Amino acid sequence: MIDGFGRKIDYLRISVTDRCNFRCHYCMPEKQSFLPHADLLDYSEIASLANRFIAHGIRKIRLTGGEPLVRRDIDVLIKELGRHVHAGRLDELTLTTNGSRLRQFSEILADSGVRRINVSIDSLDPDIFRNITRGGDLAQVLEGVSAAKASGLHIKINMVALKGQNQTDLLPMAEYCAANSFDLSIIETMPLGNAVEDRQNAYIAINDFIAPIRANFQLQPLTDRSAGPARYWHVAPLGLRLGLITPMSHNFCDDCNRLRLTTDGKIFMCLGSEMHVDFRKAIREEGMDAVDRMLQKALRLKPERHDFERQMAQPEMRLVRHMNTTGG
């Protein structure tokens, strides 16, 4: 699949639910309304769309949300998609999770062909963690991470850079990750949803955020890339692989290879744009020829690049979508 700008598209992110048991304040407001269940694609609809997209060239699928592991019977979908990994039709099935339900799911993930997962932890201080997530239990998350490690899953910790909130947690986090052989990715906040003013206050450029690491360790650039927007560094002598994701201060659009399927069947072609193509009617009523036509349309309409800088500067340009709708 090639888009209108000649980019090869082989990565699909599927948001399996917009719901979550946390309320991270940069992601969604405390009182968030969620989609009615009738609007959600059921697992057979998601699996049929995924099959078709795989047939057209998708090689990697990431499940996200909301919190993917809170959707009821999510193991049914994980096992179904895992069949493609076992059959060699998918290079990778992975997920991004807040870790709170990993203890129950890590074995199922490993058995289903999942090899790597991303777990979002913004602080190793239980109080700061509870504050950022509005109620999350750090001990439960760390227990889940340990279970995932014991199941043989390779783990990357995602940490959002929040000015004045979690910078002092950076060195402990780097040491925790190095000691456990986890990768660490630092993410700049993006202006999604309707809490932009808060987020402007929380925004800190990555280079400023990682100053404590630079002050204590040497950073050597690594040339390898995953199928994502991170740039990687080796932190000596910790032996840590550090990813820096800089959507605001550095544009990662030139080699964007992804599409995002929302839980109600829309394909968003860019995290920073409201433009989408709705597949729900096609998959529910019209059949695979319609799905193929919609997919061609989505590829044609994929924007060249996001415009987060302008959205951050001009609140009236803000995207009303929250991150939990399209998935991280």
Q: Which range touches ligand SF4 (CB under 6 A), out of 21-29, 36-44, 173-181, 192-200? A: 21-29
The residue count of the chain comes to 328
Question: Could you tell me the smallest distance in angstroms from the CB atom of residue 236 to ligand SF4?
Answer: 31
**Neighbouring residues of 21: CB distance < 8 A, sequence distance ≥ 6:** 67, 70, 98, 100, 136
Which segment (95-103, 210-218, 221-229, 306-314) binds ligand SAM by CB under 6 A?
95-103
DSSP string, 85-128: HHTTS-SEEEEEE-STTHHHHHHHHHHTT--EEEEE-S-SSHHH
Is the peptide bond preceding residue 172 cis, with omega within 30 degrees of 0?
no
Q: Mask of contacts with ligand SAM, 131-170, x by CB under 6 A? A: ---------------------------x-x----------
Among 49, 74, 187, 244, binds ligand SAM (CB under 6 A): 187
With binding defined as CB under 6 A, does residue 98 bind ligand SF4?
yes
Is 190 a residue that touches ligand SAM (CB under 6 A)? Answer: yes
Largest CA distance in the chain: 59
Contact between 28 and ligand SF4 (CB under 6 A)? yes
Closest separation between CB of residue 307 and ligand SF4, Å?
A: 22
Unique residue bearing structure tokens 């839980």:
263
Q: Would you state the structure tokens that stand for residue 145, as one six-digit string? A: 């991470």
The answer to whether the CB of 46 falls within 8 A of the CB of 77 is: yes
Binding-residue pattern over the window 32 to 71 for ligand SF4, x denoting contact by CB under 6 A: ---------------------------------xxx----
Q: Are strands 116-120 and 218-221 parallel, antiparallel or unpaired?
A: unpaired
SS (HEC) of 282-303: HHHHHCHHHHHHHHHHHHHHCC
State the nearest-atom distance from the C-beta of 17 to ligand SAM, in Å: 9
- Which of 14, 16, 27, 282 binds ligand SAM (CB under 6 A)? It is 27
Residue 88, amino acid: G
Q: Which does 23 bind (CB under 5 to 8 A by kind): ligand SAM, ligand SF4, none?
A: ligand SF4
Q: Which are the contacts of 127, defined by CB distance < 8 A and separation ≥ 6?
A: none
- Contacts with ligand SF4 by CB under 6 A lie at 20, 22-24, 27-28, 65-67, 98, 120, 323-324
- Contacts with ligand SAM by CB under 6 A lie at 20, 26-27, 64-65, 67, 96-98, 120, 158, 160, 187, 189-190, 192, 323-324, 327-328
